[in-house]
Amino acid sequence: MTFSTPFPHLLIPTPISKPATTAASPSSYSPLIHQIRPSSSVLRCSSISDMDATAGQGLYPLHRCKTIHLVRHAQGIHNVAGEKDHSAYLSQELFDAHLTPLGWQQVDNLRKHVQACGLLKKIELVVVSPLLRTMQTASGVFGGESYKDGIDVNPLMVANVGNSERPAISSLNCTPFLALELCREHLGVHPCDKRRSIHEYRPLFPAIDFSLIESDDDVLWTADVREKDEDVASRGMKFMNWLWTRKEKEIAVVSHSGFMFHALSAFGNDCHPLVKSEICKHFANCELRSMVIVDRGMIGSDSSTTNYPGKIPHGLDLPSDVANDKHPKEKGVPN
């Protein structure tokens, strides 16, 4: 869906460092800033505006950017049933669908990746949709270290959640996990997208923070009305604005294909079509896609933690060309 009104954010794919044994594909990402080597074509530009127009790049202050790592849940039982027969999505047997054995293999593979590329240590917050399959995925991918003797912490996920036959996942030295309704899948009609009550989830995921969910029961899902695509997109924009209110600069989001597709569809219209496609295409199960979100509308007020004011004590210290204009050198006085 294309929005005609301007948005306060810019969303741009960002590269993740890959393990040394993996060759990076030059077409696998589009970094925000490319290195520019001096060349005759650059030097022939007649003005700064010419350079900006031809380069197709952008510069933004670092403190007005966040990195978000978007993850779709691993394969659920509803994915398998729905691929065979789309009407299966109406089945009550798929209520709050859990992961399949293949889904857990996908989780294990993604965890190995985020460990190998160093991402697991960078993430400051994990935001997760409060449905069984997303919380299983988030726990398996971004969970804590193994339990150690003498250390008593709540598990992130208890054993055998969703008939998984998986051992408990520790929250030891774990990034905070926060459940949020804004990043849920399309609401309504499909029982697989209806959540359980929060008091049922808490014993299953003791270390996930459910405090931002206002209702214990699922009051958002209705049996007879499916949420419109444009309403999902609007909810996605609210979610992006909410992300910007967080103090964390590197956030993982574990959500759903439909939600992320419609949430991201508003972005990339001012980019190259291949970049637009990279941002907005549908997610595969357990796919991770990293983006930089930029505050172009000044909705944030954070100050930089790395900028430095320079000259101390403060005073007049103009660039030489400006100083020459303001203070023409006296005749016979050298520079």
- Mean pLDDT over 252-268 rounds to 94
Annotated catalytic, 9? no
| Catalytic residue (one of 69, 113, 181, 185) | 185
Q: Are 19 and 287 in contact (CB under 8 A)?
A: no
Residue 29 forms part of a structural domain: no
**Which domain covers residue 282, as residue numbers?**
9-17+58-295
154: in domain: yes
pLDDT in tens, 174-223: 999 999 999 999 999 999 999 999 999 999 999 999 999 999 999 999 99
Identify each DSSP E strand in the chain by its residue range. Answer: 9-13, 65-72, 125-128, 155-157, 169-170, 177-179, 208-209, 250-255, 288-295
Quick check: is 302 in a domain? no
99: helix, coil or strand? strand
Query: Does residue 280 fall inside a structural domain?
Result: yes
Does residue 43 lie within any of the structural domains?
A: no
Kind and range of the H or E run holding 83 = helix 77-84
Q: Within a domain: residue 125?
A: yes
Catalytic residue among 73, 78, 98, 186: 73
Residue 63 designated active-site: no
Residue 301 in any domain: the answer is: no
Q: How many domains does the chain have?
A: 1
Average pLDDT over residues 261-283: 89
| SS3 state at 64 | helix
- CA angle 111/125/20 to nearest 5° reads 40
Residue 237 in domain: yes
Q: Residue with structure tokens 């160093």?
A: 118
Q: What is the CATH classification number for the domain harbouring 98?
A: 3.40.50.1240
Q: What is the mean pLDDT of residues 221-241?
A: 95
What's the pTM value of the predicted model, to 2 decimals?
0.79
